[in-house]
Amino acid sequence: MQLHLGLAPAPLRLCVLGSGSSGNSVVVESGSHRVLVDAGFACRQIEKRLLAVGVDPGSISAIVLTHEHGDHVRGAARFAKRHGAVIYGTRGTLEHSRLAARPVPTRELESSRPQRIDGFLLHPFKVPHDAREPIGLVIEDGSGRRIGVACDLGAASRLAWAHLADLDGLVVETNHDLDMLRNGPYPWHLKQRVASRHGHLSNREAAEGLAELISDRLQWVVLYHLSRTNNSPVLAAEAIGRVLRESGSRARVCVSEQLVPTPWLAVEDGAPVRETAPSAAVHRSA
């Protein structure tokens, strides 16, 4: 006779270790399964931040790279070598970051083809950005709970947004405020690059895109890759919070930062989500 204990599944949760122009990395956890999305800090800094949020660096089984830019891959090879993690990325990412030629284990991802990694099912998808073969991700656990990661993309493309439907949690780029970018110190060519379809997502573009993704299922939204020159946490949170309020959503807003990790954000099974004003829901650590 088989005994069913009815144990609850391990929670699916996420912590942004840091995000911005100088480095980006996210840890996703479900039970004993832990992966990094990007490793854009030096290895020692990634280790330090993992320990600060209660994660043993040696428990990371994989590093999933969204693209080859330095602020997303800087510590990947060193971390993988020290801790035995496998690096996953598209062929373009692995080749142009030169990780494929390094003495570390790598595995190739194909956009739009699901891949099982440790205890997760990853759904990679193409995004518009000025990298070789960039991707966004939907990370699904064994209970069907889903977190989306859409960072470093110049537009809320129809293809990307089709993959981001029906999420429990979302990490989305809110890189710049358009007025701050236009009136800021960047040279004209760099302003054009940032604002282009293959650059970075503005607060307004992220908010307009989010309006299409809101559902009763969505519990929280993390604002990611904010420019310290062309944006502010308040402006980003106001833009996203306004869309959530207008839709009647109770999803919380958390603003990630460059220097310190966010709190852990867990997907709560069937739990009511507390309604808060956007200003109160913003995580500010510095």
Domain count, the chain: 1
Can you give the CATH number for the domain in which 277 is found? 3.60.15.10
Whether residue 286 is contained in a domain is answered as no
Whether residue 2 is contained in a domain is answered as no
Is-contact 64 79, C-beta < 8 A?
no
Does the pLDDT value for residue 280 go beyond 60?
no
Whether residue 4 is contained in a domain is answered as no
> Which tops the pLDDT comparison, 276 or 211?
211
Residue 171: give the domain boundaries: 12-281
pLDDT average, residue stretch 39-48:
98
Q: In which residue are the tokens 């889903």 written?
A: 146
Share of the chain above pLDDT 70, in %: 91
Whether residue 203 is contained in a domain is answered as yes
pLDDT average, residue stretch 250-256:
97
Does the pLDDT value for residue 275 go beyond 60?
no
Instruction: Locate 253 and state its tokens.
Output: 């807003």
Instruction: Please report the pLDDT score of residue 7 as a whole number.
Output: 58
Does the pLDDT value for residue 285 go beyond 80?
no
Instruction: Locate 222 and state its tokens.
Output: 């993390």
Whether residue 80 is contained in a domain is answered as yes
pTM of the model: 0.89
Does the pLDDT value for residue 190 go beyond 50?
yes
Whether residue 5 is contained in a domain is answered as no
